[in-house]
Structure 1
Amino acid sequence: MSSDVSTAPTAPTAPPSAPMRVVGRRLAHHDFVDKVKGSLLYAADWTLPGMLYARVVRSAFPSARIKSVDVAAARALPGVVTVLTARDVPRNRLVEHATGGLGELTVAMPVLADDRVRYAGEPIALIAAASQQIADEAAELVDVDYEELPGVFDPEAALADDAPRVHDEGNVLINWHIRRGDVEAALAAADVVVEGEYRSQRVEHAYLEPEAGVGWMDAGVLTLRVSTQVIEHAVEIADILGLPANKVRVIGAYMGGGFGGKEDMTVEPYLALLVWRTQRPVRMVWDRQESMMASTKRHPFVMRYRTGVRYDGTIVAQDIDITGDAGAYPYLSARVMFAGAAVSCGPYRTPNASLRSRAVFTNNVPTSAFRGFGAMQVVFGYESQMDRLADVLGLSTVEVRRRNFLSKTDIIPTGESLATCVAGSETMERALARLGEPPQPSSPSKRVGRGFACNMQPYGRTVWFHDHASTWLSLQPDGTLLLRAGITDLGAGQAASLCQIASEVLGVPLDEISVYIGDTALNPPAGGTFGTRQLYMSGNAVLHAARRLRDEIAPVAAEMLGCRTADLAFEDGLVRGPASTGLTLAELVAGCEERGVDTSLLSRWRADRGAFDPITGQGDSFPDYTYGCHATDVEVDVETGEVAVLRYTASHDVGRAINPLRVEGQIQGGAMQGLGYALMEDVVLEEGNCASTLFASYLIPSSLDMPDVEVEIVESGEGKGPLNSRGIGEPPIGPCAAAIANAITAAIGERPTCLPMTPERVLELCDRAEKPAGEVST
C-alpha cells in the first residue's frame, strides 16, 4: 500500500496541552545506550577482508597551473595497487546548482584537479595500497610540476575588475537582492540612522569523527558505508563513474558529528573510484590535519548595516549589504548567501528593506554548509544594531526589541506573511529572567556586563525545491513495528524522534520498534539531514504514514471489538474499546490478515511549495522559523582582555518538544559551539594556506571554559513540524556571538565588531575605553 500526502495545514491541529503518552517525555533511546557502552559502530570502525587503504594527494599551492603529474615512482612502490589521476575519472565534473537554477553561475568542480588547482589542499591524485603507511609513503612520491599563478584571497578584493580570475566565468557566483518598499526615502525621513560594519570569520566544523568510510563491490553493486549526511549522493557517484543509478549503494553510518561538513561529498567519490578500479574493498579515513586543511568551512561574512528608526524606537528601514567568501568552488554558497539575506533583518518588523548578498570566489579553501547556514552569521549584525539603536535613543535594550518584534501575520522583506507564532518576546523574557541578578566583579581589574540576543532561524529547505520525504511502516505478525526511512543520524537522535512519533500514533511500545535508516538500497528516500529539515520532513512523513496506517486497520479493530472506530485507543501495545480490555496488536494484525487488510504502508509527504523571483526579490523563501533568545553575564579582565562567561541561558520556541531531553541537548550543544565561534575559533589562512591544521592551533571550548547552558523551552504549539513542533538543530548556535558582544559592550563601553572576540581584540577595546574599573553595567 502506498500513498502521497500533501503538506500539513499551517494552523495548529493539536495544542501543546493535548495529552500525549510518548511524545513530550524525556526518553533515552537505543543510541544513548550504544554510545555509552561504546558499541555503536562508526564509519571508520568497519573492516573487510583484503581491504586496501586510501590516500588523497593534495595541492601544495592555492593557485597554480598543473604542468604534469608523474605517478611512476608511486606506482612502483611495493604494496601500491593503484594510483589514479584526473584522466582516470570517467566524468571528472560536478555541477552544483544550489539554488535550483535561480541566477547562479554554472561552474564545474572537478573530482580530481586536471589543468590547474584553485586552493591549497585540492585533490590531484588517489592512491590505494596494502597498508596506510604504504599509501602515505606513495603520496610523497607523486611528483606534480606546478606553475604558480596569481591568487586572490580577500572576497572584496576579488570584486575588483583587475582581480585574478578564480574561474573564467567570473569571481561572483551569485548576487541576491531582496527588496521591499522605498529604502532610501525611508532612511532619509528617519529620525536616526545607525550604521555598522561587522565581520565574521572562517570556522572549522571540528566534529569528533573525521571524514571516513569503506567501500566494496557486492554482486556488481558498488557499496559505500560512509560518514555522510546525504546518502542521495549515490546518484552523483553513479554519474562520476558512468554507472546506472541502481549500481551504486550508499549506507550512512551513525555519525560522530556533521554540522553541515558532511552534507557535501567528502570521501565518497574517492572511495568509489578506487573500489571501482581495483574491485577490492577500500578504506579511507582523513586524519585531523587533512580534515582541517581541506574540508569546507563556515563562510566569513562582511556585513554592512544602515538601520533607520523613529525617536520612539520603531524601525522604518534597513539597508544591508553582505559579502561572503565562497572559496574556490560553488558548493552550497548560493543557498547560504540567500539564507543570510532573507533573515538579515532578524525577528523585527522592517517595512522598507534592501537586502543584498553575494558569494565571491577566492583561492581559499571552499566554504559550504555549517550549522546555521548563513542565517546565524547575520545575528551578529542585526543584534549589534539593536543594542546600538537602544544606546542612541536612550531606550533599554529590552524595550527597543519589544517595540519591533514581528508578530504572526506580519509581512517580512520577501513579501511573505508569517503563518505561525513569533515568540520573540516570550523567549527574551524567559532567558533574562533565568539569569537572575547580575553578579559583582571578582576583582578591581574586572568588569561585568550583561547582554542578550534574539534570532529567527529557518527550518526546512527553501520552498522552491519542492521538498518531500518518504517512510515505510510495517506492523509485524507479533505486533512489533518496522520503520524504514532514508534519513541519516548526526548524533542528535533523528531516528529516535521518528520512533516516538510512530509510537504515539500506533501505540507500539518504543522498545518494540525497530528503525532502519540511511541506506539507499533498503530505505525510501528522505533527503539529507541538513537545514534543520529532518524532523519537519521525515517527522511529518512518519506522522502521516502512522495516521494513515491506523486509519486502515482501525475498522478491523472496531469490528473485532464491537465498537466504533472513534472509540478506539491505540496504546501500550493494545487497541482498546470503551468496554473491553482490548486486543493486542498481534491479534489485530492477525485479524487484518484474515480480512485481507494490509498492515504495511509506504507514504510520501510533500512540504510547502512556492516560487521566488530573483529579479524582483520577492516570493516564497522558507517553510517556517524557530525563534529564540540567549542571555549572558560576562566578566572582562581589562588588563588582559580575557572574557569569562559567568552564566548563560537560552530559550527557544520549539512548538512542541518531541523529546525535551534531546531538545535541551541540542540547545546546550548549539550554544557551546556558538560560544567557541564567538570567543576563540578562527581558521587562519596565510595567502590561502591554512595555518590552523591541529587543535593545538585551532581552539575549541572545553567543559572547563564555559558555564552550564541553562535552558528554557517554550512550546507555542504552532510549528509546522509533526504535532506542531519546530526544528531546533540549528537555531541555538545563532544568538551566541551577538549576546557575548552585547555583554562585552555593556562591561567596557566599547563594541566588538569582528569575530572571534579574542583577548587580543578585547584588550584593544579596553585600551580605548576609559571607564572606571569595578563597575557593573546592565
Structure 2
Amino acid sequence: MSYKDKKFRIVGKPMPRHDAWEKVLGNTSYAGDHEIPGMLHVKALRSAHAAARLIAIDTSAAEALEGVEAVLTAKDVPHNETVTKFGQTHTVGGFEGLYRVLADKKVRFYGEAVAIVAAETPEICDEALKLIKVEYEKLEGVYDPAEALKPGAYLVGEDESNLVCQYKIRKGDVTDGFSRADVIVENTFTVPQVDHAYMETECGTAWMGEDGIITIRASTQVIEHFRGIAEVLGLPQNKVRVIAPMVGGGFGGKEDITVETYLALVVYKTGRPCSMVWTREESLICHGKRHAYKMHYKTGVTKDGKLVAQQVDILSDAGAYVYLSPWILLYSTVKAVGPYDVETVKVDSRTVLTNNTFASANRGFGGAQVCFGYERQMDEAARAIGMDPLEFRRRNYLHQGDAMATGRILENAVETEATGIKVMEMLGEKTVSDKPNIVIGQGMASSMMSYGRMTFLHDTSRSYVSIELDGSVVVRCGVQDIGCGQTSSLASIAAEVLGVDMEDVTVFFGDTSLTPLAGTTTATRMLYMSGNATLKAAKAIRDNLLDKASKHLAVPVAELDLVNHQLVVESAPERNMELEQLVKLCASDGVELFNLAQFNAPAREFMDFTSGQGQVFADFTFGSHAIEVAVDTDTGRAEILKYVACYDAGQAVNKLSAEGQIEGGAVYGLGYGAMEGIQYDRGKTLNPDFATYLIPTSMDVPEIETDMIESGGGLGPFGAKGLGEPSSVPSAPAFVNAVCDAIGKSINDLPATPEAILKALES
C-alpha cells in the first residue's frame, strides 16, 4: 500500500514524549549540571554605564590575586570584532552588523562585558572583579529611537547614522483607499522590551582535548555557532566542537552567542577546562530582549465592514548592537496588516540603534509586536462602525488563494476564519457580573505567523536514520532540544515510518562533531526542517526493506507494510515476517539499512525592497485566541475567567506536545499583555530580578482550553505546520481587547497592568 494512505499508529496521537520520565524524575542533565575536575570558574566584569568611552583598564591587582588564572580584556581576544553581513537585503540603508566579544574603546549598553576573570572558585572571581580598575569617560548616550534619528543625535556605534535599516510595502494607492472609506480609525500603539525569562540561565562548560579541539557544552539554540567561535579565536572550524544538551528554555534568547565565546577564550588562553553560569540578574540585564516598538496604524473602513486602506508606520528600538534586528523588522513589515485582505496598503518601518540593552530574537520574532497593533485596530475599527468584532474580521480574513499585501499568493491552507469562529464558540456567552465594581469583557485576536526561515536564506537540514539488526532504530540529528519535544518528534516520525514503537528509537542530538548539522532551533523550523529530513531518511530505509521483502516473497510492494515490529503481507497474513528477521535478511545481502538525508526548504530570490512585493516565507500558521476577563474597577485588577485557543496545526505529530505548545504559548503571550516590560533609567535596567520583573504564575492563568484543526495543508512532515512561535502571538491583544470590552475604554500600550487600566478608566 502507499505510505501516504496509511492510518497513523503514532503520528497524531497523544503520545508521552520519549524524554518525559527522565525530566519528571530529575535525571535530565542540563548544561549547568556538568562539572569537570580542576575546572576554572568564569565571570564577567560588566559596565556600570550605558554609554561611555573606555579610557583604560588596569587588571594587575586582579591578576596578582591568588587563585586567579587569567584576566582577559579586548586586547586578549584574537579577533574581538566580528561582522555579520546581511547582504543585498539592505540596499535601502546598507550596513554590517558589528559584534564585539568584549567592549573596546566604547561601551554601548549597561552591563556590557569589559573583562572576564577565570579563577579556581566563584568567590575568587568575585573578589578579582572588584580589583579591576576601569577608567570611563561617561557619554551622553541616546535612549529613545525617535531621538536617535534626529540630526546631530549621539551616535551609538561607529557609523554616521543610528538607522540600522528600513523597509516598505506598497499595494495600490492608499490615498484612493482612504477616499473611499466611510470611517477612518487612527491609533498609536507602543510595546516594551520584554525578557525571555527561561528557567535555566545562560551557562556552559568547555575543555580542550589532546587533539587540540576545544569542546563547548552549552545551553544554546544554535550549535552552529562553532563557526563564529572559531573565527573569533582564529582557529579552523574543525577545531571547535559545540554540544547542546537539553536546554532549559530558549524562546530565542539563546539564539545569539552568550557564554560560548567566553568559555572558548579561557580554554584557548589557559588550556584548562572552565565553567560559566550567569546569575538571573546578568541574564535579565545582558542578553537580547524582544524589541520595543512604536506603531501608528491608520485604517479606512466602509460602513459594511470592508477594509479599503491601511497605513502603518513602525519604529523599532534595536538597542546597542544590530544582532537580528534587520530580520525581525522584515518579519514585522511583511505581517504588519495581519491575516486580512486590505485593498490598499502602505507600510514603512525602521529600526534604530540606542544605548538600551540590545534587542534580538524573542518568541514571535517580530510577529507579536505588530499583532498587537493590527488586532487592537481591528477591534477599534469594528467598534467605530458598530459591528461585532468577529463578524468584522470574518468579512476581511484572507483565505487560501488570496494575495497578501506583499503580492504573495497563499497557496496552502488558511483556516483563520475557522479558528476565529471556533474560539468564540468555545468562549460562550459572556458571564454576568453580580458585583457593581466588577465588569466582564470578552476579547479575541487572530494572527498569522511564519514557520521556517526566510526563503532567500536557502535553508537546509540533515538527519541520519539507521535500523539495527534487532529492529531498534537510531536517529542522529543536530537539533537543539529547547524543551518543546524537538527530539521526541523525530522519534515519533521514525517510529511511524519503520513500524516500531517510540521506545525502540534512540535520538542522538545537538553535537557538531557527531550529528549531521540541522540548523538552528529557531523560527519554528525544527519540525518542518529536521522532521522532513528525518522522514526522508526513514522512508529511504523503509523503501529498502519493502523492496527486499517484495523480491524475497514475490509479493508487490503495494501489498506490504511495516506495523508493530512486523512485515505485514495484506493479501496473505500467514506470510507475515518479524521485522528483525527482515532486517537480518537485508543485512546479509548488503542492503543499506541507514540513510543520511538532507531536506531543502523552498528557495526564492530576494523580494523587491522598493515595493515590498515578493515571497519572504514558505508558509504560515493561522490561529486565534479568545479571553474573558473580570475587571475590578476599584483596583484595576483583571482576572481571567476563561481562556481558549485554536490553531490549524496542519497535522499534529504528537497531540500532547501540540496542546502543550498552544497552552505554553498562551501563557508566554499573556505576560506580554498583562505585566511584563523592561524598565530603564537612561539605559540602566531597573527591574533585573523576578521580584521586580513579573511573569505569569499558576495564580494568574486559568485552565486553558485548546482545539486544533488538522487541515493537512502544511509543509512539514505529514502536512504539519509549526506551533512554537505562532501559539504565543495573539495572546496579548486578545487579553487587552477583553479588558477594553469590559471597561469601555481603549488601552493602546503594553502591558495592560492594573495601573494602566485605572488610568484608562479615569480618562
How high is the TM-score relative to the length of structure 1?
Answer: 0.95
After the TM superposition, which residues 489-568 of structure 1 pair with which residues of structure 2 at under 5 Å, given as runs? Answer: 489-568=481-560
Matched, 1:153 2:143: yes
Match of 1:165 in 2: 155
Give, in whole Å, the separation in 2 of the partners of 1:152 and 1:229: 31
Match of 1:26 in 2: 14
Give, in whole Å, the separation in 2 of the partners of 1:186 and 1:711: 38
Match of 2:590 in 1: 596
Match of 1:55 in 2: 43
**8 Å Cα contact 1:71-1:83 kept in structure 2:** yes
Give, in whole Å, the separation in 2 of the partners of 1:535 and 1:98: 26
3-state SS in 1 of match to 2:367: coil
Give, in whole Å, the separation in 2 of the partners of 1:581 and 1:45: 51
**8 Å Cα contact 1:176-1:356 kept in structure 2:** yes
Give, in whole Å, the separation in 1 of the partners of 2:260 and 2:485: 24
Match of 2:754 in 1: 759
Post-superposition offset of 1:98: 5.1
Post-superposition offset of 1:524: 0.7
**8 Å Cα contact 2:451-2:524 kept in structure 1:** yes
**8 Å Cα contact 1:98-1:332 kept in structure 2:** no
After the TM superposition, which residues 179-194 of structure 1 pair with which residues of structure 2 at under 5 Å, given as runs? Answer: 179-194=170-185
**8 Å Cα contact 1:260-1:530 kept in structure 2:** yes
Give, in whole Å, the separation in 1 of the partners of 2:111 and 2:384: 47
Give, in whole Å, the separation in 2 of the partners of 1:151 and 1:498: 48
Post-superposition offset of 1:14: 5.5
Query: Given the superposition, is the C-alpha separation of residues 142 and 581 from structure 1 closer, same or farther in structure 2, using an over 3 Å criterion?
Result: farther
Give, in whole Å, the separation in 2 of the partners of 1:174 and 1:396: 39
**8 Å Cα contact 2:86-2:95 kept in structure 1:** no
Post-superposition offset of 1:681: 0.7
- What one-letter code is carried by the residue in structure 2 that aligns with 1:139? L
Give, in whole Å, the separation in 2 of the partners of 1:506 and 1:176: 47
Match of 2:711 in 1: 716
Quick one: which of 304, 308, 311 aligns to 2:303?
311
After the TM superposition, which residues 187-226 of structure 1 pair with which residues of structure 2 at under 5 Å, given as runs? Answer: 187-218=178-209, 219-226=211-218
- What one-letter code is carried by the residue in structure 1 that aligns with 2:16? A
Give, in whole Å, the separation in 2 of the partners of 1:437 and 1:605: 47
Deviations along 1:21-41, one digit per CA (max 9) or x if unpaired, are: 110111112321111000000
Post-superposition offset of 1:299: 0.4
More displaced stretch, 349-358 vs 403-412: 349-358
**8 Å Cα contact 1:14-1:717 kept in structure 2:** no
Match of 2:101 in 1: 111
**8 Å Cα contact 2:177-2:343 kept in structure 1:** no
**8 Å Cα contact 1:420-1:719 kept in structure 2:** yes
Deviations along 1:538-589, one digit per CA (max 9) or x if unpaired, are: 1111111211221223211112233111111111112111313522232222
Deviations along 1:414-459, one digit per CA (max 9) or x if unpaired, are: 1110011211111111111111221122521111111111111111
**8 Å Cα contact 1:479-1:584 kept in structure 2:** no
After the TM superposition, which residues 35-74 of structure 1 pair with which residues of structure 2 at under 5 Å, given as runs? Answer: 35-74=23-62
- What one-letter code is carried by the residue in structure 2 that aligns with 1:417? I
**What is the aligned residue count?**
754
Gap runs ≥5 in structure 2 = none
Q: Percent identical across equivalent pairs?
A: 44
3-state SS in 2 of match to 1:152: coil
Deviations along 1:355-408, one digit per CA (max 9) or x if unpaired, are: 121111000000000000001111111111111111111211111111101010
Match of 1:129 in 2: 119
**8 Å Cα contact 1:460-1:622 kept in structure 2:** yes
Give, in whole Å, the separation in 1 of the partners of 2:149 and 2:757: 31
Match of 2:684 in 1: 689
Match of 1:772 in 2: none
Give, in whole Å, the separation in 2 of the partners of 1:428 and 1:619: 27
- What one-letter code is carried by the residue in structure 1 that aligns with 2:197? A
Match of 1:10 in 2: none
After the TM superposition, which residues 240-319 of structure 1 pair with which residues of structure 2 at under 5 Å, given as runs? Answer: 240-319=232-311
Give, in whole Å, the separation in 1 of the partners of 2:74 and 2:578: 60
Match of 2:664 in 1: 669
**8 Å Cα contact 2:182-2:301 kept in structure 1:** yes
3-state SS in 2 of match to 1:376: helix
How high is the TM-score relative to the length of structure 2?
Answer: 0.97
Give, in whole Å, the separation in 2 of the partners of 1:582 and 1:111: 61
- What one-letter code is carried by the residue in structure 2 that aligns with 1:109? Y
**8 Å Cα contact 1:98-1:331 kept in structure 2:** no
- What one-letter code is carried by the residue in structure 1 that aligns with 2:246? Y
Matched, 1:360 2:352: yes
- What one-letter code is carried by the residue in structure 2 that aligns with 1:669? G
Deviations along 1:727-765, one digit per CA (max 9) or x if unpaired, are: 000111111111111111111111110000011110011
Matched, 1:703 2:698: yes
**8 Å Cα contact 1:222-1:275 kept in structure 2:** yes
Give, in whole Å, the separation in 1 of the partners of 2:237 and 2:433: 63
Give, in whole Å, the separation in 1 of the partners of 2:37 and 2:470: 37
Give, in whole Å, the separation in 1 of the partners of 2:711 and 2:88: 33
Quick one: which of 580, 585, 597 aligns to 1:586?
580
3-state SS in 2 of match to 1:30: coil
Deviations along 1:635-666, one digit per CA (max 9) or x if unpaired, are: 11111111111111011110111111011111
3-state SS in 2 of match to 1:699: coil
**8 Å Cα contact 2:245-2:510 kept in structure 1:** yes
- What one-letter code is carried by the residue in structure 2 that aligns with 1:155? P
Give, in whole Å, the separation in 1 of the partners of 2:577 and 2:514: 31
**8 Å Cα contact 1:452-1:629 kept in structure 2:** yes
Match of 1:726 in 2: 721
Match of 2:627 in 1: 632
Query: Given the superposition, is the C-alpha separation of residues 721 and 172 from structure 1 closer, same or farther in structure 2, using an over 3 Å criterion?
Result: same
**8 Å Cα contact 1:98-1:333 kept in structure 2:** no
**8 Å Cα contact 2:86-2:96 kept in structure 1:** no
Give, in whole Å, the separation in 2 of the partners of 1:408 and 1:26: 29
**8 Å Cα contact 1:561-1:577 kept in structure 2:** no
Match of 2:79 in 1: 91
3-state SS in 2 of match to 1:605: strand
Match of 1:234 in 2: 226
Matched, 1:645 2:640: yes
**8 Å Cα contact 1:14-1:724 kept in structure 2:** no
**8 Å Cα contact 1:43-1:226 kept in structure 2:** yes
3-state SS in 2 of match to 1:596: coil
Query: Given the superposition, is the C-alpha separation of residues 442 and 155 from structure 1 closer, same or farther in structure 2, using an over 3 Å criterion?
Result: farther
After the TM superposition, which residues 434-473 of structure 1 pair with which residues of structure 2 at under 5 Å, given as runs? Answer: 434-473=426-465
After the TM superposition, which residues 408-487 of structure 1 pair with which residues of structure 2 at under 5 Å, given as runs? Answer: 408-487=400-479
- What one-letter code is carried by the residue in structure 1 that aligns with 2:749? C
Matched, 1:389 2:381: yes
3-state SS in 1 of match to 2:178: helix
After the TM superposition, which residues 76-87 of structure 1 pair with which residues of structure 2 at under 5 Å, given as runs? Answer: 76-87=64-75
Give, in whole Å, the separation in 2 of the partners of 1:442 and 1:60: 52
3-state SS in 2 of match to 1:681: coil
3-state SS in 2 of match to 1:19: coil
**8 Å Cα contact 1:99-1:334 kept in structure 2:** no
Give, in whole Å, the separation in 2 of the partners of 1:32 and 1:342: 38
Match of 2:600 in 1: 606
